[in-house]
């Protein structure tokens, strides 16, 4: 499976409505605040928008809702994995991306036979407090050797200037939140990401 090299992560369908028309091909809906009804409504909107704009939607955390809403890709972290029913997900045709932060996480992830492995935080992130030190580029290369041919996603503190290093080290896709959502001009920054990642598309 191939992933688009630009992996956008947002916290609402409104962001997808705004940025998908620019040519985003891979987007994760990562919502931490809503109740089930609110989440379901956002997932439903995001799915319709992504279908219209030929964008792959990945639902973070909420794999049951992803199944119920007919989505086909979910992202889970190590804690999420402890309570997820992978057999049910697979039976529903859901592809699976998994977070890893250290060697133990990677062992656990590989046993689950994921469709991609994410490694982070590559650089310091301001999105959320994390207990892991920045992984650095060498760790990307090590992870690539261990996971290939499964695609490797790099995440954490990424911006267009950091992409050459991340892809040279072996990442197949670069995931981003705040470099776009906190940018003064998110549309322009999204275009910059799409253009910059064109060489790896």
**Which residues in this chain contact ligand LCLJCK34 in the complex, by CB under 6 A?**
9, 28, 30, 60-61, 75, 77, 80, 97, 99, 118, 120, 128, 153, 155, 175
β pairing state of 116-119 and 152-155:
parallel
Could you tell me the smallest distance in angstroms from the CB atom of residue 28 to Mg ion? 10
Could you tell me the smallest distance in angstroms from the CB atom of residue 161 to ligand 3NM? 13
Let me know: does 117 contact 75? Beta carbons within 8 Å. no
Indicate which of Mg ion, ligand 3NM, ligand LCLJCK34, none lies near residue 157 (CB less than 5 to 8 Å, by partner kind): ligand 3NM
Q: Is 156 near ligand 3NM (CB under 6 A)?
A: yes
Contacts of residues 164-170 at CB distance under 8 Å and 24 or more positions apart, as own/partner, are 165/137, 166/122, 166/137, 166/140, 167/5, 167/200, 168/137, 169/137, 169/138, 169/140, 169/141, 169/144, 170/140, 170/141, 170/143, 170/144, 170/145
How far out from the chain centre does Cα 128 lie?
15
Could you tell me the smallest distance in angstroms from the CB atom of residue 2 to ligand 3NM? 21
Please identify, using beta-carbon distances, which residue of 71 and 181 lies nearer to ligand 3NM. Answer: 181
50's tokens:
């992504």
Q: Is 99 near ligand 3NM (CB under 6 A)?
A: yes
Could you tell me the smallest distance in angstroms from the CB atom of residue 52 to ligand 3NM? 25
Interface contacts to ligand 3NM, rule CB under 6 A? 99, 101, 120-121, 125, 127-128, 155-158, 176-179
């Amino acid at each position: 499976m191939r992933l688009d090299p630009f992996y956008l992560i947002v916290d609402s369908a409104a962001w997808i409505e705004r940025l998908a028309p620019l040519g985003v091909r891979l987007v994760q809906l990562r919502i931490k605040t809503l109740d089930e009804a609110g989440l379901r409504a956002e997932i439903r909107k995001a799915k319709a928008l992504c279908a219209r704009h030929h964008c792959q939607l990945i639902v973070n955390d909420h794999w049951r809702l992803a199944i119920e809403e007919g989505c086909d890709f979910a992202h889970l972290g190590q804690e999420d994995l402890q309570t997820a029913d992978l057999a049910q997900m697979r039976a529903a045709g859901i592809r699976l991306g998994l977070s890893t932060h250290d060697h133990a996480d990677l062992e656990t992830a590989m046993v689950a036979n994921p469709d991609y492995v994410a490694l982070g935080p590559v650089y310091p992130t301001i999105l959320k407090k994390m207990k892991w030190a920045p992984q650095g580029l060498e760790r990307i290369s090590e992870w690539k050797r261990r996971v290939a041919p499964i695609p490797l996603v790099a995440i954490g503190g990424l911006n267009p200037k950091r992409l050459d290093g991340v892809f040279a080290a072996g990442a197949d896709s670069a995931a981003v939140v705040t470099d776009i959502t906190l940018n003064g001009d998110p549309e322009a920054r999204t275009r910059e990401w799409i253009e910059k990642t064109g060489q790896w598309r």
